[in-house]
Structure formats: structure tokens, C-alpha cells
Amino acid sequence: MTMIKKLLTTAIATTLMAGAAQAQISDDMVKIGYLADMSGTYRDLAGPNGLIALEMAVADFGGQVNGKKIEIVSADDRNSPDVASSTARRWVENDNVDMVAGLVASSVSIAVSDILEENGKLGIVSGSAASSITNEHCTPNHIHYVYDTYPLANGTASAIVKEGGKTWFILTADYAFGHALEADVTKVVEANGGEVIGTIRHPFPTPDFSSFILQAQGSGADVVALANAGGDTTNAITTAGEFGLTQSGQTLAALLLFLTDVHALGAEAAQGIQLTTGWYWDMNADARAWADRFMEETGVRPTMVHAGIYSSTMQYLNAIKATGSDEAQAVRKQMMDTPINDMFATNGRIREDGRMVHDMYLAQVKTPAESTNEWDLYNIVRTIPAEEAFRPLSESQCPLVTSK
């Protein structure tokens, strides 16, 4: 065969392979559905600004992948598993949505992941906290990206017990996330020689925490822990301040506190609170550069969830580019095979249970004197290495792990 014929044959084969790869992108489009609380308790930690983070990722990717347009649809799940399930089912069965992103309330994420598995589609959970999402509720059709209750307990609770907080009273949001956090914290407290002397569960959401805080105060526990999030956490902290809980010698532990929560409370009210986070906008140059762009778009600094939505969307689109397919299992495998190094994580990776593991951080809220501006709120106390932060696979109840 002459060189010209060889080159022509290679060119034709390359063209055919490229065409075959592109043909694997269903409906000649990659369609992403953003499903989150857009108006309620969790609005600030993800909400409309999470949609902007996703849009930033798609724009940075060029608006298309392998020559196919990327389209975004969005909806408010109202923190309701029923509303979320109905929306997700319509998206994947009628509207050709390939991947569902966002996913904040843990009960919503668990319900939606079942529908995605049933329909062979992919979900990337960025806002939910329950560690059960990649434990007993794991599926081969979703990835849990940013954080979960296991590192929250290992970070914040273990640090406070070691500092002398031996007896605990836990105030818990009464749904999947709260239950998981309560269980993980109890395990960590007891493993470190402490004791949970009382728990109480509050409805989600709760506008008035007076009776709950009074019961916690009356327990005499060294530590009153808040196993809730968003508006529930800020309302509980404000109520605790009004009742003088910390002035009476008790420590208030916010087990899941977001940057937007601390900003809403203000450094004066939140100073000294320790918390565990998966990311902070001012932690390094790459994080700051992306956070500056985000702030230009939104007027606020991003939470770890906003950053995780951007990062996970970029990883998803890169996986489609690499495989030439938007088929859920092909994309998930490629994402698992690709280390994550970007503005969100260094040497992050996705395990077979769907858990994205990366370093977490123990932070402390700065005093007003330490803070140089309204968003300069955290001191990073220590880095919690990825393998220490997340539940080890040896303890996993996920069938994707235990069946091996």
C-alpha cells in the first residue's frame, strides 16, 4: 500500500470513529437538569446561584461537547421528594435529560437516584449531606460529590470532644440528613470517650426553636450540637444567643454550617464556631480566581456546594468528551478513572460506591478584628486528608462494594 493510500485509509477510519463516537450522544444533545431548593431553607447554599455555577461550567466548556449542544433545564424541588421525583421522572422519560445535578435535601437525592437508576440516567449530588447516599442508598447511577455527614462528624465532633466537650445533646432535623448526621456524630463522640445524653428531633423546616433550645439548655450537656442546615441552623444559633446558651457555659456546635450561614449571622455572632467544610473560597489561588468570577456573576462568594457543582459539571463534560458518549455507565466509569485536580480539589477521586473523596478542612470563624471584609470569615485550622475524612470502604454497606 502506498503512503498516500495509507494516509487516506487512516483519515477515513478516523472520520468513521469520530462519527460513531458522536452518534453515541443521544438525541444529538447533552441535556442537564438542575434540581434544587430555589426558594426555601436551602436556597442560599445552592439554589439559583448553583444554577449559575453550572452555567459557568457549560460556558467555560464552550457550550458544546464533541460538536453537540449542551442544554440546561432547571426546577425548584421545594425540598419535597414527591415534587422532585415527579420532575425527575418527567425529565428523563419525556424530556431527554441525561444528567440531574444539584440535589440538596437528602430525602430528595435518595428519591431521585432511584428514578435515575430505573431509567439508566446519571445524577451528581452536590448539596446533600447524608452519608447513606453512597452507603446503604448507593446506586450505580449517581455520584456524591462535595461532602457528607461522615467527615462532618469526624472533623467537628472529634475536635470538640478532644477539647473537653464530653457530654452532648443533639438537636436534629427530622429527615434522612439529620438522622444520618446524628448517627455519625454519636459514633464519633462515643469513640472519643464522650457521651450523648439526649437528642430531640425538630420538624423540617422550623421557624421557632425556642422550646428546642430550652430543652437542650436544660439538659446540662457540655455541648449542644445542631444536626441541621441552612435556615434551620441560623435560626437555632440566633435563638441560642437570645437564651444565653453559651453564656451559661455550654458549647454550641454547628455540625453543618455554610459560608452563607456565617455571612448571614455575621462574624460578631458566629466568631469562634468550629466547622468542617469541603472547600473555602480563599483557600488557594485557584479557588480565589474562580470565586472572583463567581462573585462577578452573583454578587456573593460561593459556598462549597456552588464550587462542587461547577467542578462536577466540568468532570462530567470531560468524561463525555473522552468517551464520545453520554451513556450513564460509560460516563461514570470515565469519571471514576480520572483524578480530579481543579479549583475544587487536588487528587480527588470517585470510588466504586459513588463517593468522591477529597481533602476536607476544619475551619474556625474569625473574630471581627481578624476579618478584613464581609466574606473573610474562616481560618483553616487543619486539613483532614481524604482517606481520613470519608467512610472507609471496609465499613461500607453499599452493594456495589459488598458484592465484590
pLDDT digits (tens, 9 = 90+) for 143-177: 999 999 999 998 899 989 988 999 999 999 999 89
Per-residue pLDDT tens digits for 94-128: 999 999 999 999 999 999 999 999 999 999 999 99
Name which of 386, 393, 387, 391 is nearest 360 in CA terms.
386
User: What is the per-residue pLDDT for 248?
Assistant: 85
Per-residue pLDDT tens digits for 316-361: 999 999 999 999 999 999 999 999 999 999 999 999 999 999 999 9
Averaged pLDDT for residues 210-236: 95
Q: Tell me the three cell numbers of residue 342.
A: 481543579
User: What is the per-residue pLDDT for 13?
Assistant: 39
- For 275, the enclosing helix (H) or strand (E) is strand 274-277
How many Cβ atoms from other residues are within 10 Å of residue 333's Cβ? 16
Q: How confident is the prediction for the chain on average, in pLDDT?
A: 92
Residues facing residue 71 across a β-bridge: 31
Higher local confidence (pLDDT), 212 or 249: 212
How many CA atoms, within 13 angstroms, populate the side-chain half-sphere of residue 34?
Answer: 24
How many Cβ atoms from other residues are within 10 Å of residue 35's Cβ? 26
User: What is the per-residue pLDDT for 200?
Assistant: 97
- Pairing status of strand 274-277 against strand 360-365: antiparallel
* Spatial distance between the Cα atoms of 47 and 11, rounded to a whole number of angstroms: 47
> Which pTM does this prediction carry?
0.89
* Spatial distance between the Cα atoms of 56 and 212, rounded to a whole number of angstroms: 41
* Spatial distance between the Cα atoms of 333 and 400, rounded to a whole number of angstroms: 13
Evaluate if residue 403 carries a pLDDT over 90. no
| CA dihedral of 227, 109, 332, 146, whole degrees rounded to 10 | -30
Evaluate if residue 32 carries a pLDDT over 70. yes
pLDDT range class, residue 6, cuts 50, 70, 90: very low
Would you say 27 and 317 are in contact if contact means Cβ atoms under 8 Å apart? no
User: What is the per-residue pLDDT for 246?
Assistant: 84
Would you say 230 and 258 are in contact if contact means Cβ atoms under 8 Å apart? yes
User: What is the per-residue pLDDT for 357?
Assistant: 98
Residues facing residue 350 across a β-bridge: 356
Per-residue pLDDT tens digits for 131-146: 999 999 999 999 999 9
User: What is the per-residue pLDDT for 11?
Assistant: 38
pLDDT range class, residue 271, cuts 50, 70, 90: confident
Contacts of 13 (CB under 8 A, 6+ apart): none
- The fraction of the chain above a pLDDT of 90, given in percent, is 85
Would you say 362 and 381 are in contact if contact means Cβ atoms under 8 Å apart? yes
* Spatial distance between the Cα atoms of 76 and 367, rounded to a whole number of angstroms: 36
Per-residue pLDDT tens digits for 235-245: 999 999 899 99
Angle at 352 between CA 84 and CA 112, to 5 degrees: 5
- For 308, the enclosing helix (H) or strand (E) is helix 304-323
Residues facing residue 200 across a β-bridge: 171
User: What is the per-residue pLDDT for 404?
Assistant: 75
Evaluate if residue 58 carries a pLDDT over 60. yes
User: What is the per-residue pLDDT for 341?
Assistant: 98
Q: What are phi and psi of 44, to 5 degrees?
A: -75, -35
* Spatial distance between the Cα atoms of 380 and 276, rounded to a whole number of angstroms: 9
Name which of 126, 180, 134, 121 is nearest 353 in CA terms.
134
Domain architecture of the chain: domains with CATH: 29-147+283-354 (3.40.50.2300), 150-277+360-386 (3.40.50.2300)
Per-residue pLDDT tens digits for 357-376: 999 999 999 999 999 999 99
